[in-house]
């Protein structure tokens, strides 16, 4: 084998793998993507200002759905983390090493944001004494542990939550664009690994 051939193979991730993520991983992925997108669309502008004006969040369907979907995202993320410990081997698509590490950084950033978003939401609600209102009439009016915590006063958590919400949508968009680039330009199977079917043209 030539020296150039050795370098080529050294730059590619060529481990044998299955062609698809398992069904549960795919379900978690798409449910999370849908929940995050809808929650972002329904996220009301000036949430804190509305609450300070005395508006009851339970009367606003967009707020109730936004907070309910936020809880769903947190639950799905925690379940996904648990499933990662037990799931079958994930697909390994041959690609340049820099693409592999860029993808790992992107996934790490998305995981951190999926956890940080609901945490900052709880901090925003608790620090400003706003109620948590969910579908089905579930309501939590006070969060004294958060309100009395030192961290509650360390930032305007509503602004932090909004910034992170914008960030996850931008990163998710780049993530989707990269998958489409792999499919349309590089002609590899990156996009297919997370789809429910294999015969994508």
List, for residues 78-101, the tens digit of each pLDDT value. Answer: 999 999 998 888 888 788 888 889
pLDDT digits (tens, 9 = 90+) for 111-125: 999 999 999 999 999
Residue 134 has pLDDT above 90, yes or no: yes
- Non-local (6+) Cβ contacts of 18 within 8 A are 88, 89, 90, 91
Please tell me the pTM assigned to this model.
Answer: 0.81
pLDDT at 3: 45
Residue 115's pLDDT is what?
Answer: 96
Q: Does pLDDT of 8 surpass 70?
A: no
- Region 176-189 average pLDDT: 87
| Residue 198 clears pLDDT 60, i.e. is over it | no
Who has greater pLDDT, 124 or 10?
124
% of the chain beyond a pLDDT of 70: 89
Beta bridge partners of 96: 12
pLDDT interval class at 44 (50, 70, 90): confident
DSSP, residue by residue, the chain:
--HHHHHHHHTB------SS--HHHHHHHHHHHHHHHHHHHHPPTTHHHHHHTT--GGG-HHHHHHHHHHHHHHHHHHHHHHHHTTSPPPP----BHHHHHHHHHHHHHHHHHHHHHHHHHHHHHHHTTPPEE-GGG-EE---HHHHTSGGGGSS-HHHHHHHHHHHHHHHHHHHHHHHHHIIIII--STTGGGSS-S---
> What is the predicted pLDDT for the residue at 167?
96
Domains of the chain, earliest start first:
21-90+97-194 (1.20.950)
Confidence (pLDDT) at 5:
42
β-pair partners for 132: 140
The pLDDT, as a whole number, for residue 17 is 46
């Amino acid at each position: 084998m030539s020296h150039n051939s050795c370098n080529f193979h050294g730059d590619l991730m060529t481990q044998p793998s299955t062609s698809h993520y398992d069904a549960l991983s795919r379900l978690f992925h798409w449910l999370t993507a849908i929940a995050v997108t809808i929650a972002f669309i329904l996220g009301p502008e000036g949430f804190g200002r509305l609450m300070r004006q005395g508006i009851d969040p339970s009367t606003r369907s967009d707020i109730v759905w936004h907070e309910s979907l936020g809880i769903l995202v947190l639950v799905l993320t925690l379940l996904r983390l648990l499933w990662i410990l037990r799931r079958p081997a994930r697909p390994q698509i041959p690609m340049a090493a820099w693409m592999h590490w860029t993808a790992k950084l992107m996934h790490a950033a998305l995981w951190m944001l999926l956890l940080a978003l609901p945490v900052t939401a709880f901090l925003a609600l608790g620090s400003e004494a706003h109620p948590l209102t969910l579908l089905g009439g579930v309501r939590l009016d006070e969060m004294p542990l958060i309100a009395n915590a030192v961290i509650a006063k360390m930032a305007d958590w509503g602004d932090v939550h909004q910034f992170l919400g914008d960030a996850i949508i931008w990163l998710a968009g780049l993530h989707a664009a990269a998958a489409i680039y792999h499919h349309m330009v590089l002609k590899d199977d990156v996009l297919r690994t997370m789809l429910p079917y294999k015969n994508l043209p």
